[in-house]
Homo-oligomer: A and B are copies of this chain.
Amino acid sequence: MHTLWSFVIVFIKCYNPSMTSIKDVAKAAGVSTATVSRVLANNAPIKPETRERVLKAVSDLNYRPNLIARSLRIQKSTKIGLVVSDIRNPFFTAIGRAVEDTAHQNGYSVLMCNTDEDPDKEEMYLKLLYDENVAGVIFSPTQQFNISSQTYDQKMPFVIIDRSIDSKNVDMVLLDNVTAAYELTEHLIANGYKKLAGIFGDASTTGQERSKGFHKSLKEHDLSPAAVHFIAPRIQPAYETCMSLLGQPNRPDAIFTSNSLQTAGAYQAARDSKLKVPQDVAIVGFDDTIWGTLVDPPVTVIEQPTEEIGRTATELLFKRIQEPDRSPKTVILKGSLIARGSSLKGE
């Protein structure tokens, strides 16, 4: 009989998946659950001796508080959500790392969600995060996103990154896209290119703003664009568009792209069209990448301060969490032009 009981106990110890709870700790330490909670929260005077005993029980039992229960009770959590539109875009993974670092330093963890530019997925994930009681969300909205029509409006702290939305009632961290695109276009023109084609993302405001800077520069030089296309911010669509552009008799002598995936597509198209970069056609874009300096010629880009964007957004989010009624702030950062071989004809 004794053996049987031992067996049962061992069995339970090994296979019972239930966690040790605050009750177990309380029992082991001979105190109430309230005391255990207070020791752990360190927010009330406790007799040193009692604290000792509780702490010992905690470590003996390998106790860790159940975050779900805590979250239910206090109605918040120490997680934040990061909702990005394309996890394959190095820009967003760079942001992701920065957000994670900053969050981590503040004792928060990050749940990263990928919407694939799909408004349904976007809504699904925002609802999920809301339901999960996250402390707040950092995200890059699709164009279809309408903050005021959403249930989570007013309830969950938000910081918008990369793409602006209409509401002036939200914190945002953005790039000065118009200026950046303007500078990039000026650079092309200064280097003797005249027939500029613009490829912009169709999934966000970013593309529109960049096209504004593009047109502004052209106008100032009395040039008109050789072509303008708003397409999906991915490799394949950019490749196809550029193939068709470069196949024309009166083809452009420069291609302005709006993100690194489109830049890759443009490079592929130039190669497959047997055109020399930068002699036959210049290619410039946004975001510095691993391969930007590996290709020949290396790519001229506007580098975005991804680390700063991610960090600033996270800090802004924490400020809003602490002080929900502070007035919304929009931080606009500058990109920096890195001129490389893909836009320098030489002499």
Question: Interface residues, chain A, CB within 8 Å of chain B?
Answer: 14-15, 17-19, 62, 64-69, 71-72, 75, 79, 87-88, 90, 93-94, 96-97, 100, 104, 109-114, 121, 124-125, 127-128, 131-133, 151, 154-155, 235, 261, 264, 267-268, 271, 289-291, 293-296
Given contacts A14-B154, A18-B75, A68-B68, 6 further A-B contacts (CB under 8 A): A87-B93, A109-B113, A109-B128, A111-B112, A112-B112, A268-B293
List of B residues within 8 angstroms of A113 by Cβ:
109-110, 112
Give the shortest distance, in Å, between A42 (CB) and chain B (any CB): 19
* Complex copy number for this chain: 2
Q: Which residue from B62, B66, B295 sits with its C-beta under 8 Å from A296?
A: B295
Give the residues in chain B near A64, CB-CB below 8 Å: 127, 131, 151
Nearest residue (CB) in B for A268 is: B294
Asked whether B72 lies within 8 Å of A72 as measured between CB atoms, the reply is: yes
Find out whether the CB atom of A125 lies under 8 angstroms from the CB atom of B109: yes
Which residues in B have their C-beta under 8 angstroms from that of A264? 290-291, 294
Residues from chain B with a CB closer than 8 A to the CB of A154 are 14-15, 17
Smallest CB-CB A-B distances: 9 pairs: A291-B291, A112-B112, A67-B131, A111-B111, A68-B72, A17-B155, A294-B295, A264-B290, A87-B93
B293 near A296 (CB under 8 angstroms)?
no
Closest to A100 in B: B114
A68 touches B132 (CB 8 A): yes
Are B294 and A67 touching (Cβ within 8 A)? no
Which residues of chain B have C-beta atoms less than 8 A from A71's C-beta? Answer: 68
Complex: how many Å from CA A96 to CA B112? 10
Residue of B nearest to A115 (CB): B100
16 residue pairs A–B, Cβ–Cβ below 8 Å: A14-B154, A66-B131, A66-B133, A87-B97, A88-B90, A104-B121, A110-B113, A111-B112, A112-B114, A235-B290, A264-B294, A268-B294, A290-B291, A291-B294, A291-B295, A294-B294
Chain B contacts for A291, CB-based, 8 A: 264, 289-291, 294-295
- B62 & A151 in contact (Cβ 8 Å cutoff): yes
| Complex Cα spacing A261 to B127, Å | 36
Give the residues in chain B near A293, CB-CB below 8 Å: 268
Q: Which residues of B contact A295 (CB under 8 A)?
A: 291, 294-296
Q: Which B residues lie within 8 Å of A294 (CB)?
A: 264, 267-268, 271, 291, 294-295
Min Cβ gap A254→B in Å is: 18
Identify which of B18, B69, B155, B261 contacts A290 (C-beta below 8 A).
B261
Q: How far is the CB of A58 from chain B (nearest CB, A)?
A: 13
Supposing A14-B154, A235-B290, A290-B235 touch, asked if A133 and B68 sit within 8 A by C-beta, the answer is: yes
A92 CA / B114 CA spacing, docked (Å) = 14
Shortest Cβ distance from residue A79 to the other chain B in the assembled complex, whole angstroms: 8
Chain B residue contacts of A67, Cβ below 8 A: 128, 131-132
